[in-house]
Amino acid sequence: MRVLGVDPGLTRCGLGVVDGLGAGRQAGLVEVGVVRTPPGEDVALRLRAIADRIDDWLDRHQPEAVAVERVFSQANVRTVMGTAQVGAVAIIAAARRGLPVALYTPSEVKAAVTGSGRADKSQVTFMITKLLGLAEPPAPADAADALALALCHLWRGPALARVRAAVTAAGGGAP
Q: What percent of the chain has pLDDT over 90?
A: 78
Q: Is the pLDDT of residue 22 over 70?
A: no
- Mind telling me the catalytic residues? 7, 69, 142
Does any domain span residue 174? no
Domain tally for the chain? Answer: 1
Which pLDDT value is given to residue 159? 66
Q: What CATH number does residue 38 fall under?
A: 3.30.420.10
Assess contact for 45 and 10: CB atoms under 8 A: no
CB 2 within 8 A of CB 17: yes
What is the pLDDT averaged over residues 89-117?
96
Give one word for 72, left, alpha or beta, with left for phi > 0 and alpha for psi -120 to 50: beta
Distance between CA atoms of residues 57 and 69, nearest Å? 17
Q: Is the per-residue pLDDT at 157 higher than 90?
A: no
Return d(Cα 64, Cα 49) in angstroms, integer: 23
Q: What is the 3-state secondary structure (H, E, C) of 64-84?
A: CEEEEECCCCCCCHHHHHHHH
What's the chain's average pLDDT?
A: 91
Q: Is 53 within 8 Å of 35 (Cβ atoms)?
A: yes
Mind listing the pLDDT tens digit for each residue in 40-65? Answer: 999 999 999 999 999 999 999 999 99
Give the model's confidence band at 24: pLDDT under 50 very low, under 70 low, under 90 confident, else very high.
low
Give 79's pLDDT tier (boundaries 50, 70, 90). confident
Please give the pLDDT value at position 72.
Answer: 76
Query: Residue 76's pLDDT is what?
Result: 76
Q: 33 in a domain, yes or no?
A: yes
Angle, CA of 26, 28 and 34, to the nearest 5°? 140
Query: Does some domain include residue 175?
Result: no
Which strand ranges, in their side-by-side order, compose the sheet holding 101-104?
27-36, 12-20, 2-7, 65-69, 101-104
The C-alpha atoms of residue 81 and residue 20 are separated, in whole angstroms, by 33
Which residue segment(s) compose the domain that 119 sits in?
Answer: 2-169
Identity of the amino acid at 60? R
pLDDT tens per residue, range 106-138: 999 999 999 999 999 999 999 999 999 999 999
Q: How confident is the model at residue 25 (pLDDT cuts 50, 70, 90)?
A: low
